[in-house]
Amino acid sequence: MVLAFRFPDVGEGIHEGEIVRWLVHEGDSVRLDQPMVEVETDKAVVEIPAPQAGTIVRLAVREGETIQVGEVLVVIGETGAPAQPAALPPAPASVSVVGSLDIALTELPPAPEMARATPAVMPPARRVLAIPSVRKLARDLGVDLTMVTPTGPHGRIRREDVLQAAKPSQPQPQRASSTAPVSPPALEHGPVEYQPLSALRRTIARTMVTAATTAVPVTTTDEVDVTELVALRERSAEAAAVQQVHLTLLPFMMKAVVAALQQHPTLNASLDEAQQRLVLKRYYHLGIATDTPEGLIVPVVKTVDQKSLLTLASELAHLTELARTRRIALPDLQGGTFTISNYGAIGGIFATPMLLLPQVAILGVGKLLRKPVVYHEEIAVRTLLPLSLTFDHRALDGAEAQRFLNTVMTYLANPARLLLTL
């Protein structure tokens, strides 16, 4: 028997993925759970394992193409069977569970019978890339998708393409003949280059639009004197290095944030609009916004209140590396209750961080500044840390947000008091 293996639902509301790299070729033998392909979703790059041992009959999607959940990814035959062209079946009526993924499987008749039933002179049909809602629109309007010119990324048909194809053809007005070529509008002012948006960038765009149009974000800013904290970090760095841990200021800030959240629980919450209530989280999972070559990813460090500074530093380094190489697992991107964006590591003093819904607050951290300030009634050069707190005004007011920020600053300015909370 031949098995049509469909792109599985990998969780977290993911509906499609982009084929990054095939790890097998047609005709290869694979064993159960052998990695077959790397797929980029809007969260991470994941490896899809083989659901059974056998021979790769057909790779149904090329590298760089986008595939929807439920579409055929690869066709696998019996072990030792020669690779034969296989027609793709209709969507399966049932879903089997293999490992941690929901895998859609469909059994096909033996490949030789299928080969005999398929006329050799029949040309292959053009692969139509369109999401289910666009396909339904085409059916409702009586539009043949194979005749529609796609304008989306990787040849995907968009809703606008279907609507355009459904318009009745209009006679073109007569124009004066001209031998001069007409430049496309995009080229009128000079050469351009097109860069398709990756799955991650498309997700970031949707998330930012949702946050900007749903929440009521307000940002408050302040500066805190962290001279003593910086000195403590420098004294602790050598001891941490002995344990092969690079200790930065971020674990200290995470501890200060958690200590403040415990005193101001309305910032460690999410807004349940349907039930008109605030959901206060009694656990502390901090998301750490991480810059990657493909875009912003937010790994989540779990149970920060229960971990030591060295443990937090070690986990941060590990998760950051996984995020930057797009190898991070989906559970490590889920469950955050509050987020820290350390844009100061790149540069910048103050910013207006965007909320990561359904969280109600996010703390932005600027770069350390050496500035002359009044200290004990004298002018002294101290190390200041700029902070920007964005909060959802639907969930809390500015006074409570500022009280939370004041508490964070108290711990950062007095590391001895912070250590008492560890």
**pTM above threshold 0.85:** no
Which amino acid would we find at residue 291? D
What are the two backbone dihedrals, phi and then psi, of residue 73, each rounded to the nearest 5 degrees? -100, -45
292 and 326 share one domain: yes
303 and 366 share one domain: yes
Q: Give the pLDDT score at 12.
A: 54
Q: How many domains is the chain built from?
A: 3
265 and 363 share one domain: yes
340 and 219 share one domain: yes
One-letter-per-residue 3-state SS of 148-209: CCCCCHHHECCHHHHHHHHCCCCCCCCCCCCCCCCCCHHHCCCCCCCCCCCHHHHHHHHHHH
Contact 44, 326 (CB under 8 A): yes
Q: Give the pLDDT score at 148.
A: 87
pLDDT digits (tens, 9 = 90+) for 10-19: 665 567 888 8
Domain CATH for 108: 2.40.50.100
Residues of the chain short of pLDDT 50, as ranges, are: 91-124, 172, 176-178, 182-183
Contact 217, 395 (CB under 8 A): no
251 and 317 share one domain: yes
Q: Is residue 182 part of a domain?
A: no
Q: Identify which of 306, 301, 362 has the alpha carbon closest to the alpha carbon of residue 334.
A: 301
Q: Is residue 56 part of a domain?
A: yes
Contact 279, 272 (CB under 8 A): yes
Q: Identify which of 399, 409, 256 has the alpha carbon closest to the alpha carbon of residue 338.
A: 256
Catalytic residue, chosen from 15, 285, 376, 393, is: 393
Helices (H) and strands (E) in the chain, counts: 9, 20
Domain CATH for 142: 4.10.320.10
147 and 230 share one domain: no
75 and 161 share one domain: no
Is residue 264 part of the annotated active site? The answer reads no
Pseudo-torsion of CA 256, 293, 333, 37, nearest 10°?
-160
Q: Is residue 126 part of a domain?
A: no
Q: Is residue 102 part of a domain?
A: yes
pLDDT digits (tens, 9 = 90+) for 310-369: 999 999 999 999 998 888 888 899 999 999 999 999 999 999 999 999 999 999 999 999
The length of the chain in residues reads 422
Range of the domain at 140: 132-165
Domain CATH for 295: 3.30.559.10
